[in-house]
Structure 1
Amino acid sequence: MSETFNNIGKRILETTGSNSGMMIMFIFVFIISIYVAFQLYNIVIKTDLQTKVLLKDVLNVYSLDNTLNQVNLTSDDETITLPTLNNGMEYSFSYWMFLEKHEDSTNPKLVLTVGGNTLSTSDIIMYMDPNYNKMNLLFKTTNVGGSASSSGSGVSDSLKDIHDNHDCSFFKMQIPYVPISRWVNITIVVDDNYIQLFMDGELRQVIDTSETVDSCIGALSMKKLENNSNFYAGKALNSEKMNGYLSKLKFFNYALTIDHAKMVYKTGPVHQSILSKLGLPLYGIRNPFYRVDSSVDDNDAQNNE
């Protein structure tokens, strides 16, 4: 490498005067130094990859009180902070859910939110449809209320209002059918303009947030996730609580690959199980090892890591 630089320097000096040649050589070395420093910076940033387990015990969502309850807490009610985000537009999270049953309701059934402790301050909202066994996932845009039909009043704290009238305030993804009475793995990957949605290790939907939406005023972009964001479950205004369980909520400060998403699924919904260590993908069936017994306390030792 040093010989190459020397040869380049000699040729510059031969084809130009000594003063101008030295100036060109200095500029050339400066540009190369900036490029090398930039590449090294990217390498350092990309190697600071972190994974946090925010919820490792089985959580009975229906037993929570009628508010938004922070999920990423220790047994001593201390917050488990998310790993530092590089830019707020590259991250992934995964969780397991177990629905006891489906019943039609007036209001949607909340699964999880990410962001602040109200729906209006949430950046991501996941909920079950009130009439069908499907799950909707909403990702807040920076163009809140910016549609031809909306009044520009911003995002409501009512989940029913958001479900009925979210317009251009959110990008929407959907799982048309969520199985009942078995564990289901949901994984979301955000990588710049792309959002990928996985269920049980299989890619179900991809959206490009940079695409123009004709019904919206101006270009839409997804709101960046902040480092002080938290996960919440329970009940919000005009919502019902999910009749089921959550487990093994993980957050990654980088974008998972498709293969990695499959590996996350194969580890199973409960830590330290024999099948999990073997990596057997048996969670897509009604596996009796992972059926939830409602008579067992949520914090039973058998569910702990």
Structure 2
Amino acid sequence: MNTAAILLCALLLDAVMGEPKWLWDRIPHPAVLMGRAVAILDKRLNPGRGGLAAGALTLVLLMGAAFLLGWGLSQLGGVVQILLTAILLAQRSLVQHVRAVADGLRISLGDGRRAVAMIVSRDTAAMDRSAVARSAIESAAENLSDGVIAPAFWFLLGGLPGLMVYKVVNTADSMIGYRTPRYEYFGKAAARMDDVLNWLPARLTCALIALPAGVLGSWREIAGDAGQHRSPNAGWPEAAMARAINVALAGPRAYDGRMQNFPWVGATGARIIGPEAIDAAVHKLWQTWGMMLGLVLLFALFG
């Protein structure tokens, strides 16, 4: 099987099976193992305020180990690659987590807040219905890029080694890529590498959301909104999603008890929203997944 055919099978398997809880209750998920590796190197190489060199060494060790492990596992054949790739994709689990917020909001605001707290890092205790819905939609758009399109992209380019390298960098960024006293310098290499590896996939995700929604012609406006985001990549899928379902995203939100006035994304869209807007975003998640599946099928047949 060629690389695209393996990815095609993995995308379908992930969409059907998702994350089987019975399995991960018994053995650690590969992402958990990657997290443990990051934590061990953090403990060993960053006693408090690790510098750039220690952080760069950590990243090199993680990427090198991930590449070698991916290469070794890829020698076990197509079936092993399909299973591992499906495990490292997150379409079905993403949909389930986002849909849970809509289901929670239909019951009560408190249920919606509790559900969205599972997928965002911002303060949720004082959110109104619209803020809960916006948070879920923003998480859906960003994680569609990080958890589905980017892993598929790097598997297509680099096979299982490429996918493993991407996932370990993404995991490292989520753990040490913060501008805190402990990680300001130590985590900088991981954060910058994550930006590099997500640069193309974020824009690809944006296009895959925008094209079937008929908003690709608003690319200049999408780019303008994306440029205001604090991340060089996350703003692209968020801006496309905002226009695809005609809602305003981002805007003011609280972190650690402090309200921060972020600019609106898709400012002309609806600001009073609820579970129906989340449902629309979930539909776009599957629509975008279908677009990616079609591209991979073309590569499998003719690439």
Shorter-chain TM-score range? under 0.3
Taking CA–CA contacts closer than 8 Å with sequence separation of 6 or more, which of the two structures ends up with the larger relative contact order? Answer: 1
